[in-house]
Structure 1
Amino acid sequence: MRRTIAARTLDLDQERPRLLTDDVVTTLIIALEDIMTSSDGRMLFSAIAVFVALGGIGVSIRGLLFDEPSFFRYGIAGVVGGVACFVWLLNSARDGNS
């Protein structure tokens, strides 16, 4: 069987070395699902998100005080990203997905 992907022809019948076998990928996916479905994993990642948001507040204040627009932008991005992750992680726990 041959398949053309992005102007490359792959011979699917030929044995090729694989770094990640299907068993390894399946094991990794199951491990990540176990972490994210447990409330401990969600609480850990939401706590990290809170500290990212707090760091973003500090960076944005530094950008305002010392007139550094790039610090201000990255600080605001950190605040928005941290708060969004925090809310998403805790809302998914409340919806009964755990």
Structure 2
Amino acid sequence: MNEYSWPDNGVEAGARYRAAWPATCRALPVGSPVTGEVVGRRPFGVFMAIDNVPDAIGLAEITAMPPGAVLPSIGTRVSGRVVCHAGHNHQVRIELDASEAGT
């Protein structure tokens, strides 16, 4: 698997995220602290599996990271906070803690 591959069948994962979306939003309100593992990297940010919310996917975009930040590698444990819910694609947007963003 390279750094831009997806660890799960995207169609199956997407269906799970969509079905769990109302529960995800209740479990992870804006401002909530989150921890999890980086499961995917893209040039624009990292996707993370969020601890204790198995059918949720978090996205930490590079634009929300401090200047000079380096994207964490797949498998890295990270923490941050929920900044918004992107309902159109069922993603929890995350701002990583400065120490997590490789600054």
Name the structure with the higher helix share: 1
- Bigger CA radius of gyration: 1
TM-score bracket for this pair, using the shorter chain length: under 0.3
TM-score (ref. length: structure 2): 0.26
Q: Looking at both structures, which has the greater relative contact order when contacts are Cα pairs under 8 Å and sequence separation is at least 6?
A: 2
